[in-house]
Structure 1
Amino acid sequence: MQVILSHTNLDFDGLASMMAAKKLHPDASLVLPDKCQSAVEHYLAIHKDLFSITDERHLDWDNITQVILTDTSSLKRTGNIGNRLPDEVPVLCYDHHGDPPHSTSTFTCIHKKYGACITLLLEKINEEALDISPFEATLFALGLYSDTGSLSYSSTCPEDLLAGSRLLQAGASLEVVEQFKEAPLSGDEQTLFRALMDNMTIEYYDGVDAAIAVHEQESYTGGLASIASLLLSVTGSDAIFCLVRMNDKTFITARSASDRINVLPVIQTLGGGGHAKAASAMRKDLSPLVLADELRQQLHEISGSDTTAKDIMSTPVRVVAPHTSVVDVSKMLYRYGHTGFPVTENGRLAGIISRRDVDKALHHNLGHAPVKGYMSTSPVTINPDTSLEKIQAVMMEKNVGRMPVIDCGEVVGIVSRSNVIEALHGKSPKPKAATETSRSAARTNLAFSAKSRLSQNLFNLITLIGNRASALNMKPYLIGGIVRDLILGRDNQDIDIVVEGNAIELGENLAASEGGSVRTHEAFKTATWTSPEGIKVDLTSARTEYYDYPAALPQVELSDIKEDLYRRDFTINAMGMSLAPVDFGRLIDFFNGYLDIRGGIIKVLYNLSFTEDPTRVLRAMRFEHRFSFHMDEQTETLARNHGRTLSSVSKPRIAGELSRLLIEESPVFFVKRAAELDVFRYILSSHEDVITCLSRLSVYEELAKQVNLEKSIHNWTAILTLLSDFTPDAFSECRSYAHNKQEARYVSEIESISSAVRPAVIKLSEWHRILEGKSSVASAVFFAKAGSEDQAIAEMGRLYLTGREQVKNRISGQDLIKLGLEPGPDFKEWLLEIEGKWLDEPNLTKDDMLRWAQEHLLIRASENETE
């Protein structure tokens, strides 16, 4: 015989779980515990006849073959019923509390840490494809909603929400759920509520307050769980412990309203169970007063470490002086993206000035006035140990958006709404370490990837630097594209290291202790250390940047790793890897770059990113092609809207990105994407239409492949010229992008060829005379341009470029001397003529050409002498 049991003081989750277990084990007898919560009793008073409940007095307890236990894993919590079970009776348990218990030969537990036990049983019902009636769905929903706070408790899981959805689909009535979930207190319960209120003390420990309410009475009153929850709400305490002696038993019910307080461990020491925020126990041997004293001694165990102001505040703090003008503060607000500044005088807080205050003053043409006349002179402040919960409460109560953090009278930080929001959504900094925002990133350690991908020398070097920086009390990080590529599994040996501290000091220390040399740049707070093995490592102090105007070069100030990463171009490049020995390899990801890599997304960190550096538009295109990623909708819109700002950027800065797009990536992709984003015209005002450009590029790429044209980074200006309209202005514009003389020469060569070619040119020897001395790159570009309009010219270009390499230097000046020709100024012309002849008649051998030279050139030389 099977029997279904649950814990005493049965709640709706327990009752629902018993009913669900009955569906899974239809031959089992369902036996209710001796005590139920008052809300459950009210429900059963109406619906009891709809249940197949067995009276414990009618069971043959000696013949129980299996116990099916729900919503608890302890038979002790079944009350007196558990005492009637045979020894070593097999138990099958369904539970969601705490950690899963160990299974034995007679005890099996199906355990998942869901918000409600009914969710676990509904999964089993769904696996067996069992139907659920609307009545059952409503009861199951009562269990789900009551144990998860209507799906709002932090213990709620995605599976709970999915279960709720299925129950509604099965016909669950939320009206019934609302009616019974929180039944009103009965007369006896109201009496107990008032008694506990009268006998309550508030204990304070480590920034939290816990209420302990004690009462003794002769008769039993149910509903202690509901009473405890109501007391917690009324008192506003972080936690409450209700200890009530009824008859010969002491009932302990605990509730927590704070993530800091976990009441379960204390209740477990008393033989009870439950959740971190809701637990209960029952004792016969101790009075409430004794238990209350024990609880007071254990309060330090229930309060975990809290996120405090010092963990989430922004630091160092940018402040202004009282005499700073309103217009200067306005510029600083724009520069740093802040919404306000503390105003300090002689290191002490004098007030706080907000963007709203500044805007109002500017509206009244008071930009010249000092901020002391418009600042708030009594700002709300907090100290470094103020808890996150207290910070939230103060912000709501005082309606303030930022609060200076004061320590010993000095401003050591500032907490804004943004800081609080980040902390609440899993982005708050942990003590003594930077934070990673996403859960995926939090579980990511790149140490193995770094060891696998980097050369042994390089890996040893970053390990050494990490150890050295930590010894100097600096926090070292590997940052930038290499972190991205470690996640992508791509090779990258380009090392950039940022430290929270003085990078120059670190570089000098490395040179002194390990050898090598160091070059420092005080203005940018950077150093380049060259190791004894010759490896160059860029060391940078964590810094923030601001731009005085769009497309300007950045101004630099020291900051922390978060602000340093925030100045990066895209989220996928705004990650770091800790090099500190204590957490080597830990991914630092404030901006969800890890998730964007997994999603193949290019995303800017802030909306002014392209305004501050328009070349990032080109970089976004480059990364799209390189990684087969795509800009997210917002980033693409910003790129489209800010393409025109490229016209304000110097040509050398654009050239840096454009050259890599055209050579390292794909000129075809560039033309298509630049046209889509409407940025082509801001890069090359004399560009041809897209179809013409693509046609030319197609011919060029085929030609380059056929003649094995060398792919050099310097070829990019020649390719850029291919996209122009081949006018003098176009050549001049393309030449202005050149980094060096070689890149400029390619453009000039193409211009020269273009002006020299005539329509009548049909022989390779004629082409050779025009293209003599011109690079293969320039020649290929011209043939591609002309060949896109006339396929015959494209074929001639292939024959010419291939043949030119074959005839080059096959006959030298020494060969002509052996023929009896005297060296002189005509040699160059004769050699060019021989090469042309050979291009026109490629089947001729060297001997054939020498005979031809002897027959023609010796006669011509003789005629010249006669003249």
Structure 2
Amino acid sequence: MKIVTPHRTPDFDGFASAYAFKKINPEFEIVVSGRFQQNLEEFLRLFEFKYLRDVEINENLKELVLVDTASLDRIGSKILEKITDYTKIVAYDHHPKLKLIDEKIEVDSFEIGAITSYFVLKIKENGIDISPEEATLFLIAIYEDTGNFLYDTTTVEDLEAAKFLLENGARLDWVQEFISFELNSEQKELLHLLSENVETFNIYDYKIAIAKAEIEKFIGGLNVITYKLWEFEDLETLIVVVRMGKKVFLVGRTKNDDISIKKIMQYFGGNGHEKAGSATLQNVSLDEVIYKLKDVLPKFINFSKKAKDIMTSPVRTVFSHENIGKVYEMMNLTGHGGFPIIEGNKLVGIVTRKAVDKAMRHGFSDRPVKSIMTTSLVTVHEDDPVFKVRKLMLENDVGRIPVLSKNNILVGIITRSDLLNLDEKELKKEKESTLKFEDVKHLMVDRIPSRILNLLRLIGSYGEDKKMPVYVVGGFVRDLLLGLENYDIDIVVEGNGLEFAKYASKQLGAKMVEHEKFLTASLFFKDGFRIDIATARTEYYEKPADLPQVDISTIKKDLYRRDFTINAMAIKLNTKEFGLLYDFFDSRKDLKEGLIRVLHKLSFVEDPTRIIRAVRFEQRFGFKIEEETLRILHETLNGGFLEKVSGQRIRQELEKILGEREPLNAIKRLAQLKILKHIFPKTYFTSVMEKKLENLFNNLRIIRELYKKVNIFYSLLRILLEYYDIDTLKQVIKKYGIPKKFIDEIKATETRLPPLLNMIKYKIRFSDIYKVIGKPSAETAAHIMSYIDEEDSKEYFVEYLKRVFSTKLSISGNYLKEKMNVKNSVEIGKVMNELYCRKLDNPSINEEGELKKILEDET
């Protein structure tokens, strides 16, 4: 096998030079490792260039050609693994001052602005034909690497190559679009105007959008504006119609193979590519062009095959009551990756191999398959076009789609394999495009303090130094997109996270604490600020509710292990891609729609504390737990998995809820979803309990002012565990790590509450109240106040607490011994308590005079 490859994450020059090399040497295969840079990726989504991405190389690697690099450190690991002592390695680069060259590599280095220029001139010399699209690719590469021919590395050869490409149909408007991504103020205004005038309609189930605008002045860059609108609005097909002065300009883009933008534009006297094109008309009105456009559009839609043409039929199904173990055996026997589930002759769900494998790993072989099936079915009808099937499969990230007849009877199933057989390479390209990227650098600049932003930039630069992709992930990303303040920074590194952390700590002068077992480290700065750094990893659980085991993985798998989609996004920090949002799971969409969604079927089983966390996030953001996630949540609860979690972990989740702005809403939701019952089985949430909790949280500020410190968790338990029997209380305090004295305090308060509340209501003397409860703990005071609804009663009790805190005796027990000749310690305590009570009622008493009265009364 012979391979030509650019460096990882290639730019235009890297990919174009590899492509040009293959034009000259067709026996070579182009293999690309890593991700394309953003503008190149956008270009390749519109044009079809053949290449292989991160493939398994099963043959002997006879010859390897490197372009735009001369270092083996910069190419993909899968290629490196196949290099043998007999592999010939040649490198073509245009960086004359190369640092270190491996002696195994034959290097051809040229003083030239773009290495693509060298190969283009070879193409010209050999008389090889190139298409306008290929010429445009090469020209963009040359423009980009020569800085529009302004860099001092630009040579005459670069200009000669550009001249040849223009003669062969290279389009400068495309060069402009993919070299410049920034709009000027006039272009931004036109983009805004178009975005406000988008009309979307269906033609035979094909969704097409037309955006229109009228301006008197000519504004250039309509291709760029159209492209940005098309991407920003996430439109399948967009045609922009703009009148500028006396001319009407049309620009079209599509992601659909069945719509020919080229033919549409040719109808209006223009031209283009199958998925992109433009036209210009004179002396016609905007409305006339749009009317004609709508009229002719159906003529340029090429209907593809229908679902019934590629579906597998008849369908192998399983009944909902069949156990998971049997389904597992059927999958192994047939090789199927999933089965439709039938109940009462109705299609009720679908089960995947991934779900079955996980269930078997957790020992669920005897459970019915319906317990792990997905009920949120994505289906198509037999006459639906294949493009619709493909789109649904990609959008919903499912591997199989049931096909229904006109009478909604299951007649077949379409799998990814069926689509691959239809068009393997095209499906692969579309599958890759489901990963959504978004440049959020502007949000970072606007919303993050400069100190934090500069720190993130530095971390990204260290990623460049260590040749490791670096990301900020999780809650920081979520809250950035929501416009919320959150400076808890979690960094994930694709590579050795501990090695990276050591390097970063040294550069930043921060103290590093290593957690080798979990492949993580924390950096602490002198002012107390902290960041956490982890190796990109996947967590797997030996059995339900255990803490996870950890293994090295990739950023996608690292995000997939997280609790909910809204927490499963990453922002790249490396210098060249700083601010690029990675969204593998439609997380941005769930964030916009306000949905809490798990990433896989057994998420709650693997970590049941996510059940409590789902409620916390739902209430914090005012979101909703997504319907399928809610169903999985109830199944996990009913399976008793929350009871298997240690009390310490549940307590941590409850304490996080108590740290929220409105904890009562989350506790009510826990009760509503029956989660509270699985945490405290003898707690019955009623309107009376709700009122007590409301009082508790309303009065916490007062309690804090008086006591300075209050344990909110214990205060909550005082209400939730009221009137529990002693044995159950002992079980609870043991599980949740609560001091044994808690039982004595709660039982004492329960006994004293009825008379005490009457005393407060009728404003009985402080001394009498003191004889009932003394100086209560903060938690006892909060418990009592949870029962008080009337404002004047609350004020009276608060005044009592203030009095208890402020009342001090100047006379001690020694005074009684020495001056009053009272020797009995019990008697001394009794007298001092009485004196304290009298001072509670009247802070201005004369203590000595009052003491004599007490002693006289005693005698």
Give the TM-score, by structure 1 length. 0.49
| Greater gyration radius | 1
Give the TM-score, by structure 2 length. 0.50
